[in-house]
Amino acid sequence: MSSSLSHSEKWSLLLLTGASLAVIANSFDGGGAPLVASLAFSTLAFSMTYAFVRWSGPSFVKAGLKGRDMSKLIPKEIPEALGAVAASVYILVLMAFIPFAFYKDIVAATSGGGNRDVVITISEVETGRFLHRFPHSKLSSYQSALNTLQTTTILGMADDILDLRWRHKFFIPAIASLPLLIVYYVDFGVTSVVVPNFLVQYMPNQTRLINLSFLYYLYLSALSIFAPNSINILAGVNGIEVGQALVVAVLLILNSSLYLVPFPGNPVLSNGYATHPHPATDSHLLTLYLLLPFLGVSAALYIHNRYPARVFVGDTYCYVAGMTFAVVAIMAHFSKTLLLLLIPQIVNFVYSTPQLFKIIPCPRHRLPKFNARTGMLEPSVTPWPDDRPPSKLLTTVFFTLEKLHLLQVTVNPKTNRISSTSNLTIINLWLVWRGPMREDQLTRELLIMQSVCGLFGLFVRHTMALLIFSVDNRGQYGQGHASPV
Amino acid sequence: MSSSLSHSEKWSLLLLTGASLAVIANSFDGGGAPLVASLAFSTLAFSMTYAFVRWSGPSFVKAGLKGRDMSKLIPKEIPEALGAVAASVYILVLMAFIPFAFYKDIVAATSGGGNRDVVITISEVETGRFLHRFPHSKLSSYQSALNTLQTTTILGMADDILDLRWRHKFFIPAIASLPLLIVYYVDFGVTSVVVPNFLVQYMPNQTRLINLSFLYYLYLSALSIFAPNSINILAGVNGIEVGQALVVAVLLILNSSLYLVPFPGNPVLSNGYATHPHPATDSHLLTLYLLLPFLGVSAALYIHNRYPARVFVGDTYCYVAGMTFAVVAIMAHFSKTLLLLLIPQIVNFVYSTPQLFKIIPCPRHRLPKFNARTGMLEPSVTPWPDDRPPSKLLTTVFFTLEKLHLLQVTVNPKTNRISSTSNLTIINLWLVWRGPMREDQLTRELLIMQSVCGLFGLFVRHTMALLIFSVDNRGQYGQGHASPV
């Protein structure tokens, strides 16, 4: 595999880069069309990631960051942890985007009318008040998102390089989410949720707001731990890590786009919010600004990681992907929507718990087993040696799960005891259900399953929102956000 | 060398950690004494770095991050790039400090009077105005500092792991300074400097402010490139990288502390600024918040890196150290003061340029040469083989420099031509001046030299400030900041 770009790749990327830069330059001059600029930055991020991932392969191999692809006839070594490159490009692009997203503040600060050439008068500079009058809350949210993603990258790189232990890995996202939660606390600090109407009469003083206080942060922290780790454990097949992140990102972008188109039936509210298509527009715009470049870098990485993989993505990418989702969900207050999109990950996590928490033995790798004779992937198994068979209770559980088609159980005909059970990941389970298949087919089917689950989740979410909408006019404000009743 | 802590180390660190945490908890309860909290966070950072550097040594070696200490009789392999651990602790502590530094905003936001238990009334949550009214500019500056330091860490780690080429390395700090400069641009954007009184008459419209516009950003960017790289090239002797950073940090802390004590002779200004000891107090407090934890992690790292070194610090540490200085200089507007403290680094850089820019050959390493017979360090040299002697011009220059005691020149008695010249670093120059010496002695003398230069620099700066003060009452505002005349 060459580490240089082919002739056509080179020219396509150059063209894409040139076009992106042209759009970016124009959208900056034209008074700022942030969404257009964000799209251009995303295509720029795509071409940068595409080229950098290709170019840096040999350096990664030289530094010992390489792995053997075990699901191939000839398991050759390919560069590992290239997700760090994608994450770095993502972060750099998010930084470069700041003046585009927060352009209005500058205009207002320099002259108040859009003319940026006006020199600030002395008294304004002196007190500093004129410059600081404008809400910086969005900027500081955006920066805290950046900080969280950077911490995730640093700790993810540490994990990829030093190969941390499971108990250390698990808390990486918890630490990385600190900057976001701390700024949420300092900057915003709303931890109250609305009490449903029918419960108000049971509340002390019949309060309509209940302050969850630190419990709310615990919930956000749990979300930040869950999202990255759940993506990290749904892995092991070419393209699956990046693929699932792509699906979730596209669905989140779809969800946020729904808030940007005006709803004709949206009732006009008493305080004049009707001029906006939806009160949560700003939050969802910010979500798009974070997700579009993520889509760009992920797409480029996917091309290198899909079957047959030319690079592995490493833990850094999985952490950054999951954390990106957690960040937008926290910032734009749609944590429950995110969980609906992560249903396969949740199922996989729950299904994995007996192995993750060592209730039954967990081999170091649980990826499907490659059958060199057929070229197909088969479910990998946990062996139960004759001298350490599963307990009576476990045996009953295993046979019940087998009846429910949730486990593959092999019985030793001699001893009549269970000799092996399939490893508890939904990837293996999918192979149990659908039979052995080629690696690319497996990834494709899993990604379709993820898409279908996600679309169903979105459907449920918006149907339910309408149900709540009839009870509480402002339910669309999002969960966890203190909204008026 | 053991990677575990000795009994006394363990108990000392535990005691220090406990004391730090107690102070932190108390300063949070007591309405916020940020400087006290910052000091406690710094001692906490010290103990964390001390323990983590020790513990993670073996993992670094296992991951291939190791180097041979060539200036020892038995050059054994020790862990390399441990500065990344120090940088990570530094960043985490800076994050954890946010609620302490920006405590007042929260109090004001929740109830306006200091009682944090008051539930926010519905209308306030609704509009969001009450929550956003307070200037967030300091928070967003602080976050941009964090972002810059994190980018520096990520790129520094990439350099340590992938061993980037010189032309890539050089621009790492330029990229890393982007978040700071971008936020400076969006959030503050003052690029005007005051025109000295005697020049005003020559200005168009006799303006008193001149807008440097993008040139100002170019200057800031150059500063961010210079500071990290200049520290990175004054290296190669046990303890010198961390040692010089410690000296500069202590001097900067001293400088900023000067602004926190009230000056009895400070004239009362017309706009009531006299209630504050100095108008720049806030900037210098922020400087302390950034430098104190840096001092904590650096001190812990120094103990491991000093002669005989048990770990190497790697490029990450040098970049983060230099960037920390650049960040505070930019945020608190004392870039010229910083340059005064970096005089040895500037001299070393200028002295190095002929080799850095390949005007004369530059070996991969220019660290002093260890003489195994004497146990002393001697200046390392660039050989001039007989078939490639220095040009006539260079020969003249070399002999002139030798006369000025700025170079060691060896002449081949047979051919009467120059056979070698000492490498162009001030470390080698120091050895040319003072003769061969032990490694620990060399570091000590260089650090004393750095301290003396720095103290002299501070003296010059404050003497000159007083001179300007007599011309312009508000000269103390700092350079580059648009200040009234």
pLDDT of residue A29: 59
- Distances from the Cα of A398 to the Cα of A227, A289, A354, A404, angstroms: 28, 47, 12, 10
Closest CB to B64 among A63, A109, A190: A63
From the list A135, A144, A186, the residue facing B99 with the nearest CB is A186
Q: Out of B151, B208, B211, whose CB is closest to A150? A: B151
Residue from B186, B128, B390, B272 nearest A32 by CA: B186
- B chain contacts of residue A188, beta-carbon cutoff 8 Å: 131
* pLDDT by residue, tens only, chain B of 485 residues: 578 899 999 999 999 999 999 988 887 655 447 788 899 999 999 999 999 999 999 999 999 899 999 889 888 899 999 999 999 999 999 988 887 777 544 433 443 333 333 333 332 332 222 222 334 557 778 888 999 999 999 999 999 998 887 777 777 888 888 888 887 776 666 676 666 566 666 777 777 677 777 788 888 899 999 999 999 999 999 999 999 999 999 999 999 888 776 555 555 544 444 444 455 677 788 899 999 999 999 999 999 999 999 999 999 999 999 999 999 998 888 888 899 999 999 999 999 999 988 888 888 788 999 999 999 999 999 999 888 888 999 999 999 999 999 999 999 898 888 999 999 999 999 999 999 999 999 999 999 999 999 999 998 888 775 555 433 333 344 333 333 32
- Would you state the pLDDT for residue B204? 74
Of A92, A119, A146, the CB nearest to B211: A119
Q: Which of A134, A150, A160, A165 to mutate to test the interface with B (most CBs of B within 10 A)?
A: A150
Of A63, A98, A185, the CB nearest to B183: A98
Q: What are phi and psi of B370, to 5 degrees?
A: -85, 125
A92/B178 CB distance under 8 A: yes
Of A132, A140, A208, the CB nearest to B143: A140
Residue of A118, A130, A147 to mutate, testing the B interface (most B Cβ within 10 Å of its Cβ): A147
Which of B 188-227 lie inside 8 A of A, CB atoms? 188-190, 192, 207-209, 211
- Surface of A (426-485) touching B: CB under 8 A: 482-485
Question: What residue in B sits closest to A147 (Cα-Cα)?
Answer: B147
CA distance A137 to A145: 12
Interchain CB distance below 8 Å, B137 and A137: no
Angle between helices A426-434 and A439-471 (to 10 degrees): 110
Beta-carbon separation of A185 and B106 below 8 A: yes
B282 touches chain A (CB under 8 A): no
Is a pLDDT exceeding 70 seen at residue A193? Answer: no
Are A136 and B131 an interchain contact pair (Cβ–Cβ within 8 Å)? no
Mutation pick from B104, B187, B273 vs chain A, by most beta carbons of A within 10 Å, is: B187
**CB within 8 Å of chain A, chain B residues 370-429:** none
Q: Name the 3-class secondary structure at B170.
A: coil
- Tell me: the pLDDT tens digits for A304-361? 999 999 999 999 999 999 999 999 998 888 888 899 999 999 999 999 999 988 888 8
Q: Please tell me the predicted confidence (pLDDT) of residue B362.
A: 86
- Residue-level pLDDT at A432: 95
Residues of chain A in contact with residue B65, where contact means CB-CB under 8 angstroms, are: 161
Cross-chain Cβ contact A122/B185 below 8 Å:
no
Candidate from B62, B132, B150 with C-beta closest to A137: B132
Nearest CA in chain B to A153: B154
